[in-house]
């Protein structure tokens, strides 16, 4: 099956950076919010920077929540959430009030609590691999990736594939079957980040079984 990657355009952030990361590793990717394009896609990417509530509002208003549920949960298309795109997979987000997320993963998105920490958590931090995942294939454990966020994914270890430490040890990468997500920005994390992008693009429903 040919690879047909779509990057969901829902008005939240650095879509072009993600697109050119795919191009850099030899794949093309379309930035779109068009239902037909998304239905035709083999791989779906949900990037995003900004606030949790706004993002869910946009997804709802564009009718994308139901579409994503069908494409990812039902048809099991490979999915990659990046940064806010990972956080939205949680049941609840607590940024500027309480908001419902997509609820694909049993998690809450909460603010870093430690008063001595500088917020946002910005810069390069090492990711400690947890359960083995194709997403990290060819990447050394404890490699540094670029983070920038003020809220984190508070989740049990069930689907964790990577942890990061910033005052608290938190889940920074997950895989649940066809669903992948990273709190850090692979598209901004130089060679190791680009390797993640490549691994995701090479992941198919066949390789997953």
Partner 1 sequence: MLKHRLIPCVLLKDWQLVKSVQFGSFRTIGHPTATVRVYNARNVDELIVLDIDASLKGEPINTEIITDMANECFMPLTIGGGIKTIEDVYAVLGAGADKISINSQAIKNPYFIKEIATIFGSQCIVCSIDIKKIDGQYRVFNKKEGLLDIDPLTLAKEYERQGAGEILLTSVDLEGTTLGYDIELLKLFTDSLHIPIIINGGMGVPHHGIEALQNGADALAAAYIFHFTQYTPQMIKEELKKSNYPVRVS
- Which positions lie near partner 1, rule CB under 8 A? 13-14, 16-17, 20-21, 24, 49-51, 54, 118-126, 144, 146-150, 165-166, 185, 187-191, 193-194
Residue number, 35 or 124, with CB nearest to partner 1: 124
Give the shortest CB-14-to-partner 1 separation in angstroms: 6
φ, ψ of residue 151 in degrees (nearest 5)? -120, 150
State the Cα–Cα distance between residues 106 and 111, nearest whole angstrom: 17
- Three-state DSSP at 4 gives coil
Give the shortest CB-196-to-partner 1 separation in angstroms: 12
> Comparing C-alpha atoms, which of 205, 208, 200 is closest to residue 25?
200
**CB of 176 closer than 8 Å to CB of 155:** no
Give the shortest CB-134-to-partner 1 separation in angstroms: 21
Residue number, 13 or 78, with CB nearest to partner 1: 13
Q: Which amino acids are annotated catalytic?
A: 83, 185, 187
- In the chain, where does DSSP find H-type helix? 15-24, 35-40, 52-61, 64-68, 84-87, 190-202, 205-208
Give the shortest CB-190-to-partner 1 separation in angstroms: 5
Residue number, 101 or 193, with CB nearest to partner 1: 193
- Three-state DSSP at 138 gives coil
Residue number, 19 or 71, with CB nearest to partner 1: 19
Nearest 10 degrees: Cα torsion 12, 102, 177, 25: 0
């Amino acid at each position: 099956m040919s690879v047909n990657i779509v990057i969901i355009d829902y008005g939240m952030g650095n879509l072009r950076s993600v697109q050119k990361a795919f191009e850099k590793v030899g794949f093309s990717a379309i930035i779109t919010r068009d239902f037909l394009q998304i239905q035709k896609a083999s791989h779906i990417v949900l990037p995003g920077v900004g606030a949790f509530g706004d993002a869910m509002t946009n997804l709802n208003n564009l009718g994308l929540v139901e579409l994503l549920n069908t494409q990812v949960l039902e048809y099991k298309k490979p999915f990659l959430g990046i940064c806010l795109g990972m956080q939205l997979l949680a049941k609840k987000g607590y940024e500027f009030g309480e908001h419902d997320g997509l609820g694909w993963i049993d998690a809450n998105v909460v603010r870093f609590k430690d008063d001595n920490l500088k917020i946002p958590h910005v810069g390069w931090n090492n990711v400690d691999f947890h359960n083995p995942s194709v997403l990290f294939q060819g990447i050394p454990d404890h490699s540094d990736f670029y983070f920038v966020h003020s809220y984190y994914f508070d989740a049990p270890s069930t689907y964790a594939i990577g942890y990061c430490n910033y005052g608290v040890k938190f889940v920074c990468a997950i895989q649940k079957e066809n669903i992948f997500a990273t709190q850090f920005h692979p598209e901004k994390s130089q060679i190791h980040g680009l390797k993640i992008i490549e691994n995701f693009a090479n992941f198919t429903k066949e390789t997953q079984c």
